[in-house]
């Protein structure tokens, strides 16, 4: 057996000693950082809070849909700054109703920051005229319902619009009372966006409220004590504070979607718990090895410093490798020209760096300060025989059977991915029964001409030419009806086409394909959710291979520097593909096919949100490599000490198996907070990542990795001679 070269890892060893020597100062510094981070991010110092600077809505990319939306905005038809009231149970033929509605419009337009107000009673010829019917429930004056649409000035600030909305509601209250309405609903796109942002905040608080205490209880069981369990949890709190503060800073240079906050803060929370678990476990192991069974009361300061140095040299190196792999997988998303995805990428990398800083400073400092309490149950080293070593021996005896069964199972689980259908939901993101969703569903059903068509054609062509072309649209696939051509400002006109599927179903998709293939005889843009989905998929298809190539290349290089092998990195990538494919396949089976709706409390839209596959692949790949690094670092360490491959795998699995399964369980708990939320996109993300982590930490790391390493034997460590020389010079070893 060889002795590790003391020159290797000198930097991390020195760092560990420095942290142990200045442990109190490090902890105090982090406590100040935690308080300041939460105060700044939540607006406790009088500055805008992070949640005040978030946005949410349809995720758009460059393409025809966005060009059409820009043209629509030029014509004043974006609809974002509108606020609508719908009344039912009203007699539209009653003169008193007409008077009240007319007075309401006059009072509404007199409010500061209101640009206009319209209902059927201020349209020439009254509510029975063709121009007014779009403001009437079901287009039928006998239906007893009508809408009043208030448009705010487009240059309003959020505060201006909020203040104006309060005054508008007073007028609308009066209108409802004077007309004798039995039903009164109000809403708008801004209100919907605000509700989604609020739901993100609620789901995030709920998820963290579940994750932290449950994780703490699990770690109490894992470590056998409250002190050791508390260290990673304190690190997780620090990561949340740092994540929120960094996101606030990024919000000044990037447009941050509300869902970005939950995604990256929960990632930081999970990584900090994982890294804290690894560092605390390794510190106890190193300190026990130094004490060799001596009473814990005899622990010296030098031994604590030596244990901290060794922990940073070994577990610290693993954490650095892990953080780099996760950061690489997230950085690969920068290649995609999608603002939302790029924001996730930048924010995610920043949070990974915070988790790394916590693991290399706060956690070892806490270990140094609480060294004696960490070993209060004894200083004897753990045995190298246990559940995981016995599992490895079973796998060694029948590796081919394990490879065949596990690989076959993963392929079967991945098959639903072949029929993956993407969507971009709006109100459907909120649970059924949410007032904002109810308003939009009822509004679209009762006022289809006012709510907007599922597919919209936007153009600056002459109106007569547009009308002539629109008269032929009834022959297109998916068309239920065609709205009258609407003229806006600056020569912009629109043709609304109703498909009856809320804009994301098969009819809308078929119509968009038809309109983009057989185009109008004039310049026009096809706009709508289905059109946006087409552009999203095209953008991803165009740039995805660059992202995949960069991530794969960087990962191969990183794992080669760690192992000195070209076989192990390639094998790791293949197994990650199988693992992530299986997780995505089950996600499709659940959310696209509508299984487990009652258990998970969601209503299927018949598709998966378009950002989910990208985020699951990026986050899942990073976390899969995280556990790969945890396991490989132990196996490589043992192999470099002279153990043969089979023994190194057996001992490596025994010494890291408990850490990997515990870390995976804790990460599952963290991401289960997403699954417990109400926002559909967050629920899909949570379930998909829970599946990815569970599959990877059990089927892949515990079975497939030892089985393939057993079959390959010494070939695991093969590399061409030039690369071996390169690794001898530049490789990162123990």
Domains of the chain, first to last:
12-47+225-379 (1.20.1640.10), 81-192 (3.30.70.260), 383-434+540-734 (1.20.1640.10), 435-533 (3.30.70)
Render pLDDT for 525-569 as a digit per residue (tens, 0 to 9).
Answer: 999 888 988 998 888 888 888 888 888 898 888 888 888 899 999
Across residues 398-407, what is the average pLDDT?
95
Cα gap 597→610, rounded to integer Å: 20
Q: Which of the two residues, 221 and 25, has the higher pLDDT score?
A: 25
Name the nearest CA neighbour of 86 among 347, 389, 366, 451.
Answer: 451
Q: How confident is the model at residue 158 (pLDDT cuts 50, 70, 90)?
A: confident
pLDDT bracket for residue 80 (50, 70, 90) = low
Band (pLDDT 50/70/90 cuts) for residue 318 is confident
| pLDDT level of residue 166 (50, 70, 90 thresholds) | very high
Nearest one of 516, 463, 366, 278 to 23, comparing CA atoms = 366
Q: Rounded mean pLDDT of the chain?
A: 86
Q: How confident is the model at residue 379 (pLDDT cuts 50, 70, 90)?
A: very low
Distance of CA 447 to the CA centre of its chain: 34
Burial 360-395 (b: 16+ CB within 10 A, else e): bbbbbbbbbbbbeebbeeebeeeeeeeebbebbbeb
Q: What tens digit of pLDDT does each residue of 578-617 get?
A: 999 999 999 999 999 999 998 998 989 899 998 899 888 8
Alpha-carbon span 529 to 395, nearest angstrom: 50
Judged against a pLDDT cut of 70, whether residue 68 lies above it is answered with yes
Q: Is the pLDDT of residue 212 over 80?
A: no
Report the percent of the chain where pLDDT is more than 90: 38
Distance of CA 60 to the CA centre of its chain: 16
Q: Token pair for residue 519?
A: 């185009």
Neighbours of 65 (CB within 10 A): 25
Instruction: With a cut of 80, say whether residue 79 has pLDDT above it.
Output: no
CB 203 within 8 A of CB 677: yes
Give 236-267 pLDDT, tens digit per residue: 889 888 888 888 888 888 777 776 777 777 78
User: Of 548, 544, 557, 543, whose CA–CA distance to 324 is shortest?
Assistant: 557
Give the chain's largest Cα–Cα span: 99
pLDDT at 733: 52
- Taking only the tens place, the pLDDT of each residue in 481-513 is 888 888 888 899 999 898 888 788 889 999 999
Which is more confident, 624 or 119?
119
Which range among 87-101, 206-220, 311-325, 435-449 shows the weakest confidence by mean pLDDT? 206-220
User: Is residue 168 predicted with pLDDT exceeding 90?
Assistant: yes
Q: Which residue has tokens 């007014």?
A: 132
- Measured between alpha carbons, how far is residue 157 from residues 40, 78, 110, 164 in Å? 22, 17, 18, 11
Separation CA 140–CA 206 (nearest Å): 45
Specify the higher pLDDT residue, 636 or 384. 636
**The most confident of 47-61, 104-118, 475-489, 632-646, by mean pLDDT:** 104-118
Amino acid 383: pLDDT:
62
The yes-or-no verdict on residue 159 having pLDDT over 60 is yes
Distances (CA, A) of 644 to 283, 390, 444, 562, 633: 26, 17, 68, 18, 15
The mean per-residue pLDDT over the stretch 423-434 comes to 85
For residue 448, is pLDDT > 60?
yes
Q: What does the pLDDT read at residue 167?
A: 94
- Mean local confidence (pLDDT), 74-93: 84
Pairing relationship of beta strands 608-609 and 422-423 according to DSSP bridges: parallel
User: What's the pTM value of the predicted model, to 2 decimals?
Assistant: 0.83
Q: Tell me what pLDDT residue 382 has.
A: 54
Which residue, 266, 247, 282, 244, is CA-closest to 359?
282
Q: What are the structure tokens assigned to 306, written together?
A: 């030596």
The 10s digit of each residue's pLDDT in 686-700 is 899 999 999 998 999
- Percent of all residues in the chain with a pLDDT value above 70, rounded to a whole number: 96
| Better-scored residue on pLDDT, 336 or 365 | 365
Q: 2: pLDDT confidence band, cut at 50, 70 and 90?
A: very low
Report the SS3 class of residue 413. Answer: helix
Higher pLDDT, 417 or 562: 417
With left for phi above 0 and alpha for psi between -120 and 50, is residue 324 left, alpha or beta?
alpha
**Does 284 score more than 50 pLDDT?**
yes
Banded pLDDT at 734 (limits 50, 70, 90): very low
State the average pLDDT over residues 301-318. 91
What is the average pLDDT across 101-111?
94
pLDDT value at residue 398 = 94
Average pLDDT of the segment spanning 374-380: 62
> Does 732 have pLDDT greater than 70?
no
CA distance 71 to 493: 10
Q: Please provide residue 576's backbone torsions phi and psi, each rounded to the nearest 5 degrees.
A: -65, -40
Residue 170 burial by Cβ neighbours in a 10 Å radius (0-12, 13-18, 19+) = exposed
């Amino acid at each position: 057996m060889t002795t590790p070269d003391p020159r290797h890892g000198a930097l991390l060893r020195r760092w560990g000693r420095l942290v142990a020597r200045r442990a109190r100062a490090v902890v105090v510094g982090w406590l100040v950082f935690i308080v300041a981070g939460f105060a700044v991010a939540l607006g406790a110092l009088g500055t805008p809070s992070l949640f005040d600077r978030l946005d949410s809505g349809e995720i758009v990319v460059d393409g025809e849909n966005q060009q059409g939306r820009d043209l629509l905005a030029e014509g004043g038809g974006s609809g974002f700054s509108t606020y609508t009231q719908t009344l039912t149970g009203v007699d539209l033929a009653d003169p008193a109703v007409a008077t009240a509605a007319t007075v309401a419009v006059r009072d509404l337009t007199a409010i500061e920051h209101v640009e206009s107000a319209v209902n059927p009673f201020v349209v020439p010829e009254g509510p029975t005229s063709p121009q007014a019917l779009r403001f009437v429930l079901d287009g039928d004056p006998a239906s007893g319902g009508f809408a009043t649409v208030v448009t705010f000035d487009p240059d309003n600030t959020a505060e201006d619009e909020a203040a104006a909305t309060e005054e508008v509601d007073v007028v609308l209250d009066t209108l409802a009372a004077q007309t004798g309405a039995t039903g009164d609903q109000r809403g708008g796109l801004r209100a919907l966006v605000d509700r989604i942002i609020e739901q993100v905040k609620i789901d995030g608080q709920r998820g963290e409220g579940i994750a932290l205490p449950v994780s703490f209880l699990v770690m109490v069981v894992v470590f056998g004590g409250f002190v050791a369990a508390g260290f990673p949890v304190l690190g997780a709190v620090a990561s949340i504070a740092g994540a929120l503060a960094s996101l606030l800073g990024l919000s000044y240079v990037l447009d941050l979607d509300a869902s970005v906050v939950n995604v990256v803060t929960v990632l930081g929370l999970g990584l900090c718990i994982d890294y804290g678990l690894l560092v605390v476990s390794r510190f106890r192991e190193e300190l026990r090895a130094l004490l060799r069974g001596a009473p814990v009361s005899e622990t010296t300061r030098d031994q604590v410093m030596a244990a901290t140095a060794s922990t940073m040299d070994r577990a610290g190196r693993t954490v650095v490798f892990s953080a780099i792999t996760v950061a690489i997988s997230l950085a690969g998303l920068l290649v995609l020209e999608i603002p939302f995805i790029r924001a996730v990428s930048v924010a995610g990398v920043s949070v990974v760096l915070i988790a790394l800083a916590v693991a290399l400073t706060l956690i070892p400092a806490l270990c140094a300060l609480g060294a004696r309490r960490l070993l209060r149950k004894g200083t004897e080293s753990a045995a190298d025989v246990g559940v995981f070593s016995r599992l490895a021996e079973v796998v060694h005896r029948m590796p081919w059977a394990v490879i065949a069964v596990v690989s076959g199972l993963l392929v079967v689980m991945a098959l639903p991915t072949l029929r993956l259908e993407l969507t971009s939901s709006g109100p459907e993101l909120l649970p059924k029964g949410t007032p904002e969703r109810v308003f939009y569903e009822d509004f679209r059903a009762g006022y289809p001409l006012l709510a907007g068509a599922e597919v919209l054609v936007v153009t600056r062509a002459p109106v007569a030419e547009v009308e002539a072309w629109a008269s032929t649209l009834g022959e297109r696939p998916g068309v239920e009806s065609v709205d009258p051509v609407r003229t806006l400002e600056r020569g912009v006109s629109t043709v609304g086409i109703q498909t009856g599927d809320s804009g994301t179903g098969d009819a809308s998709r078929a119509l968009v394909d038809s309109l983009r293939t057989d185009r109008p005889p004039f310049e026009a843009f096809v706009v709508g959710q289905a059109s946006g989905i087409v552009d999203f998929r095209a953008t991803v298809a165009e740039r995805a291979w660059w992202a995949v190539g960069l991530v794969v290349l960087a990962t191969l290089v990183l794992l080669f520097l760690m192992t000195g092998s070209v076989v192990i990195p390639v094998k790791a990538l293949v197994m990650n593909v199988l693992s992530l494919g299986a997780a995505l396949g089950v996600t499709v089976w659940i959310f696209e096919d509508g299984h487990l709706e009652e258990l998970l409390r969601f209503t299927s839209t018949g598709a998966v949100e378009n950002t989910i596959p990208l985020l699951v692949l990026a986050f899942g790949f990073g976390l899969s490599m995280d556990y790969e690094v945890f396991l490989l670092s132990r196996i490589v360490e043992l192999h470099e000490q002279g153990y043969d491959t089979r023994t190194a795998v057996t001992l490596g699995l025994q010494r890291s198996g408990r850490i990997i399964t515990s870390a995976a369980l804790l990460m599952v708990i963290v991401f289960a907070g997403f699954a417990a939320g109400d926002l559909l996109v967050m629920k899909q993300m949570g379930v998909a990542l829970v599946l990815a982590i569970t599959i990877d930490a059990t089927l892949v790391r515990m079975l497939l990795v030892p089985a393939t390493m057993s079959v390959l034997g010494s070939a695991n460590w093969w590399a061409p001679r030039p690369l071996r020389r390169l690794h001898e010079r530049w490789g990162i070893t123990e």
